[in-house]
Amino acid sequence: MKKIFFIIIFCLFYSNIYAQDVIKTLSDAFKNNSKLNAERANLNAAKQDVNISRGEFLPSVTISGNISSQEDTNRTNQSGEALADLNSTPETRSVLVEQKIFSGFSNYNNLKKSQLELEYAKYELTKLEQEVILSAARAYYNLGYHFKNLEFNQSNVDLFERQVESDRSRLERGEISLTDFAQSESSLAGAQAKLITARNELISGRKNFQKIIGSRPPEEINLAFIPNLSTPKSLRTASAISDQINPRLNLAKIDLEIAKKELFAARGDLSPSASISYEKKKNYDLSTTVDEREQEEVKATVKWPLFKGGKNISSVKKAKFKLEEKELLFDDISNQVSIDTANAWTNYNSSKSILDATAAQLKAAEIANEGITLEYETGNQRTTLEVIQSRTLLLEARTSFANAQKDFAIAQFSLLASIGDLFLENIK
């Protein structure tokens, strides 16, 4: 009982280590991605656009003042007599308060448009975040596959080196022919070539990991470990979730709503507008006869743009065409999202089936290789070619299983990304 307990504790401990490793990789990608930081700045800018649009509903207050120096010389009266020169320093101070009363609902629609653009920026950030998580997961598990591929090819080279040494001794004893020995040497050379390729692929995988994640790659990755991801249980569930939260679909919806608000705002430019203003002005040293003066003015203004060279009407027509464009794009994106969701679901299920099949393939290849190798080494009727084929099949089975583990892990991330539910806080 104690032994079972300690095994469970051991498995949980290492599972937690691998979980932290994956989460750290994804977190590093979040912190170091320049595109994400740029999109966050864009979101902050969109928030300020909403404040700017709200400001159109509030009054504006302007304080102004000016002072000048004037000198009147060579003055004469109507009789031609010279008058004394004058020096004055007129000064004006004023406060102006303006309030828009009505603007054909342009301000209202511009505010709604700004709020929609803020939502658009949020979904754009969400979309980019999920793309970064998916790219990071691909880089992580691809690197894990390259680790395993190098390990398998190195093991394969070691086996063929031992076989060449063993076959050399057997050739000297006359147990095998020179042809058999040549086959062993050829297989060793082929295995060494594959090992070189595996090393180069690992170097490329490390570089790609560092480029995407922005940190040093780990020295070991457990392909068998997949974090706890809440994948949908059916295609119908996946499609329902996608219809609600998919960022691409929501971006298309918001884009359509923005186009509607732009049309309403363009129509508002054809409507009358009304505003009211209050100004208080004070003048100093106004003239030779007036030293100070105070003025107060309340003014109501109504404007109706009847004709602007066709600019306003063309703006409305342009907005209508843009709305039609966004409606067509929304339909296209909606269909594409449905297709992508179905493809991701199919890929997830097929990768799971392939994983099970390659696991069975690997188990059978290990049993077959162990038996054939034992029979060959004990001098039974197994040929060198059969041993080579057995080891080749074993290497293929190992790499196929590792590749299937990698594909199954990435397929889960891809499925969640396709429906828009791939969030860092949901990965455990």
pLDDT average, residue stretch 384-391: 87
Q: Label residue 396 by pLDDT band (50, 70, 90).
A: very high
Main-chain phi, psi angles of 226, to 5 degrees: -130, 125
CA dihedral 268, 269, 273, 276 (to 10 degrees): 110
**Model pLDDT, residue 1:** 45
Q: Over the stretch 118-133, which tens digit does the pLDDT of each residue have?
A: 999 999 999 999 999 9
**Predicted local distance difference test score (pLDDT) of residue 13:** 37
Pick from 48-62, 74-88, 315-329: least confident = 74-88
Categorize the per-residue pLDDT at 19 as very low, low, confident or very high, splitting at 50, 70 and 90.
low
Q: Of all residues in the chain, what percent carry a pLDDT higher than 70?
A: 93
Task: Specify whether the CB–CB gap between 147 and 221 falls below 8 A.
Answer: yes
d(CA 115, CA 53): 9
CA angle 200, 203, 207 (to 5 degrees): 140
State yes or no: pLDDT of 351 exceeds 90: yes
Phi-psi region at 404: left, alpha or beta (left = phi > 0; alpha = psi -120 to 50): alpha
Examine the pLDDT at 96 and tell me if it is beyond 50.
yes
Does residue 267 contact residue 110 with C-beta atoms inside 8 Å? no
Burial class (CB in 10 A: 0-12, 13-18, 19+), 216: exposed
Residue 5 has pLDDT above 90, yes or no: no
Model-wide pTM > 0.75: yes
Q: Which of the pair, 23 or 366, is modelled with greater confidence?
A: 366
Alpha-carbon distances, residue 253 vs 160, 260, 276, 333 (angstroms): 61, 11, 38, 10
